[in-house]
């Protein structure tokens, strides 16, 4: 563990509004996060590299617990997971939402209590279910009718498993059509208007080894408005009322998923958690009172909202190419470590760090090193006009859905993850090496 000391000077809030709160600019052009200069992280660990502010992660966990004191908060592991992250979530009192046997086993073998874990997935494999039952996962979210019989058979006549049912409330919300999951006619969940949700619930009630504890929905990702969540509460409580009339069923839990949006560039909106919590509590209480129901315990599943703003990606510039009206700045990473711009057209605000430039800014497109025209890190962003090979670029809001979605494209190897806190930097995940890649290739 290395200690890197420097004076702390807070940079202008508007310039660094999407960076970790600990970000400081002790000298023009030199940024630090968690008391650690980003240029020193790049020198020590190489680039591309992800920097994760541990204090920011923990503070965001505490914010969720403070704003939702009566709710169960589950960290959505798909956003980013490693053993250190599992440990931090356990210490901060959060549960986990996992989507595979791999995520589940990593969490449990790190020491996370399996009863505080919920397993999701629209197409759970036999290994997913077997692992969940063997390790004693807290709840399994049923996503399709065929899963009911499979799960009941796996549990066995003398077994017991708590389950929830994922319902589709028919609400369109999210930052891009590919991440809107609350609408009808898509792969997730069971439709309320078509009656599929009610039919599945009736089947579950006929399986004595399955205990239905509540309903689950997830509207999508990168949602910055409170309104879709309020609409979802109304529709789901309406379903709960019908279930009470038909079966005398009172469900003690309501899981509204996550999808809480963050700002990726200065000036962009982020979901107001305080407003969300207040409006959800009021709407849930009012809707349940009108239906004569007991208010269920709320469950939420933030992933991006915890990890996203705590992460920074660092790249070195490899080439600068000026072609006609465009300037392309090519870096040593790209879609293999962050496919989101190619998938969703995500926009970032990279910044030159490690040196102070007095040059005027000019619009450039930061591109990756991969053999795809769509390998764009940040399109049409302002950077100093004297940007040159060897410069260091930092991309904020990079803690979620970057490394977790990384690929082996062009066999460049996935980047390392470095945690920073209290002027210390430590390696959490090492860089994927050529030896790692070769060891999986057993064809000769």
**Continuous H helices in 10-100:** 38-45, 54-67, 83-91
Q: Is 371 a catalytic residue?
A: yes
> For residue 373, is pLDDT > 90?
no
Q: What is the pLDDT of residue 444?
A: 80
CATH class, 54-307 region: alpha beta
Q: Which of 61, 217, 288, 371 is catalytic?
A: 371
The alpha carbon dihedral of 179, 196, 214, 107 has a sign of negative
Cβ-in-10-Å burial (0-12, 13-18, 19+) of 427 comes to: middle
The DSSP string of 299-366 is EE--SHHHHGGGEEEEEEEEEEEEETTEEEEEES--TTT--HHHHH------EEESS---SPEEEEEE
For residue 27, the surrounding DSSP H or E stretch is strand 24-27
Pick from 257, 262, 256: nearest CA to 224: 262
Q: What is the pLDDT of residue 3?
A: 35
CA distances from residue 317 to 125, 142, 358, 391, 395 in whole angstroms, order as listed: 42, 46, 18, 5, 13
Q: What is the pLDDT of residue 187?
A: 61
Q: What is the pLDDT of residue 4?
A: 35
Mean pLDDT, rounded, for 290-311:
97
Cα–Cα distance, 111 to 403 (Å, whole number): 23
State both tokens at 121: 């997935």
Residue ranges matching CATH 2.40.37.10 in the chain: 2-53+309-440
Tens-digit pLDDT profile for residues 195-233: 888 999 999 999 999 999 999 999 988 999 999 999 999
159 contact partners, CB below 8 Å, separation of at least 6 = 133, 209
Q: What is the pLDDT of residue 8?
A: 38
State both tokens at 220: 């999508």
State both tokens at 380: 């049409």
Q: What is the pLDDT of residue 6?
A: 35
Cα–Cα distance, 52 to 49 (Å, whole number): 10
> For residue 71, is pLDDT > 50?
yes
The DSSP string of 194-245 is TSHHHHHHHHHHT-TTEEEEEEE---BSSB--SHHHHHHHHHHHHHHHHHHH
Query: CB 421: neighbour CB atoms within 10 A?
Result: 19
Is the preceding peptide bond at 48 cis, omega within 30 degrees of 0? yes
> For residue 294, is pLDDT > 80?
yes
Cα–Cα distance, 245 to 238 (Å, whole number): 11
Tens-digit pLDDT profile for residues 400-444: 999 999 999 999 999 999 999 999 999 999 999 999 999 999 988
Classify residue 296 by its DSSP letter: P
Q: How confident is the model at residue 30 (pLDDT cuts 50, 70, 90)?
A: very high
> For residue 286, is pLDDT > 80?
yes
Question: What is the value of pTM for the model shown?
Answer: 0.92
Residue ranges matching CATH 3.20.20.10 in the chain: 54-307
Q: What is the pLDDT of residue 193?
A: 82
Mean pLDDT, rounded, for 348-366:
96
Tens-digit pLDDT profile for residues 152-196: 999 999 999 999 999 998 776 554 454 444 445 556 679 888 888
Mean pLDDT, rounded, for 274-291:
96
DSSP lists the bridge partners of residue 365 as 328
Instruction: Using CA atoms of 101, 103, 106, 108 in order, give the dihedral in degrees to the nearest 10.
Output: -70
CA distances from residue 392 to 46, 209, 319, 395 in whole angstroms, order as listed: 11, 57, 12, 10
Mean pLDDT, rounded, for 279-288:
96
Q: How confident is the model at residue 267 (pLDDT cuts 50, 70, 90)?
A: very high
Mean model confidence pLDDT for the chain: 92
Query: CB 229: neighbour CB atoms within 10 A?
Result: 24
Cα–Cα distance, 169 to 183 (Å, whole number): 7
State both tokens at 315: 């790249």
Cα–Cα distance, 106 to 118 (Å, whole number): 14
Cα–Cα distance, 259 to 222 (Å, whole number): 5
Tens-digit pLDDT profile for residues 317-356: 999 999 888 999 999 999 999 999 988 888 999 999 999 9
Q: How many residues are present in the chain? A: 444
Q: What is the pLDDT of residue 178?
A: 43
Cα–Cα distance, 184 to 190 (Å, whole number): 9
What percent of the chain stands above pLDDT 90? 85
Strand 311-323 to 392-395 pairing = antiparallel
Tens-digit pLDDT profile for residues 3-19: 333 333 344 447 799 99
- Cα 179 → chain centroid: 12
Q: What is the pLDDT of residue 133?
A: 97
Cα–Cα distance, 250 to 43 (Å, whole number): 58
Tens-digit pLDDT profile for residues 75-86: 999 999 999 999
DSSP, collapsed to helix, strand or coil, labels residue 154 as helix
**Which comes out higher in pLDDT, residue 195 or 265?**
265
Pick from 235, 249, 356, 328: nearest CA to 287: 235
CATH superfamily assigned to domain 2-53+309-440: Lyase, Ornithine Decarboxylase; Chain A, domain 1 (2.40.37.10)
DSSP, collapsed to helix, strand or coil, labels residue 52 as strand
């Amino acid at each position: 563990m290395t200690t890197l000391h420097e004076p702390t000077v807070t940079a202008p809030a508007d310039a660094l509004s999407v960076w970790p709160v600990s970000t400081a600019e002790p000298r023009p052009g030199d940024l630090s996060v968690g008391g650690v200069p980003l240029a020193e992280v790049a020198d020590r660990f190489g680039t591309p590299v992800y920097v994760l502010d541990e204090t920011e992660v923990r503070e965001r966990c505490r914010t969720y617990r403070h704003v939702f004191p009566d709710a169960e908060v589950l960290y959505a592991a798909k956003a980013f997971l490693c053993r250190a992250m599992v440990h931090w979530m356990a210490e901060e009192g959060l549960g986990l939402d996992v989507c595979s046997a791999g995520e589940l086993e990593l969490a449990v073998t790190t020491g996370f209590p399996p009863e505080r874990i919920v397993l999701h997935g629209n197409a759970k494999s036999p290994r997913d279910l077997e692992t969940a039952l063997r390790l004693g996962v807290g709840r399994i979210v049923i996503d399709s009718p065929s899963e009911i019989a499979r799960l009941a058979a796996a549990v066995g006549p003398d077994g017991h498993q708590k389950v929830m049912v994922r319902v589709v409330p028919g609400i369109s919300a999210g930052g891009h059509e590919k991440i809107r999951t609350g609408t009808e006619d898509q792969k997730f969940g069971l439709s309320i208007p078509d009656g599929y949700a009610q039919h599945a619930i009736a089947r579950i009630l006929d399986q004595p080894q399955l205990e239905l504890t509540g309903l689950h929905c997830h509207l999508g990702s990168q949602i910055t408005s409170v309104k879709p969540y309020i609409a979802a509460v109304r529709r789901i409580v309406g379903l709960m009322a019908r279930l009470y009339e038909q079966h005398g069923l009172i469900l003690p839990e309501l899981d509204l998923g996550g999808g809480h949006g963050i700002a990726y560039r200065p000036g962009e909106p982020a979901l107001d958690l305080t407003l969300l919590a207040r409006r959800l509590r009021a709407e849930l209480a009012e809707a349940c009172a009108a239906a004569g129901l007991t208010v269920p315990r709320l469950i939420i599943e933030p992933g991006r909202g915890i990890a996203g703003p705590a992460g920074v990606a660092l790249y070195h510039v490899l080439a600068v190419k000026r072609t006609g009206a465009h300037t392309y700045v090519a870096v040593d990473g790209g879609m293999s470590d962050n496919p989101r711009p190619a998938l969703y057209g995500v926009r970032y605000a990279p910044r030159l760090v490690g040196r102070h430039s007095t040059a005027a800014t000019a619009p450039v497109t930061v591109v990756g090193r991969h053999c795809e025209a769509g390998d764009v890190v940040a399109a049409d962003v302002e950077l100093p006009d004297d940007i040159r090979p060897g410069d260091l670029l930092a991309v904020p809001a990079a803690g979620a859905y970057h490394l977790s979605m990384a690929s082996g494209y062009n066999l460049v190897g996935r980047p390392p993850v470095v945690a920073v806190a209290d002027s210390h930097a430590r390696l959490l995940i090492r860089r994927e090496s050529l030896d790692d890649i070769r060891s999986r290739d057993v064809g000769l």
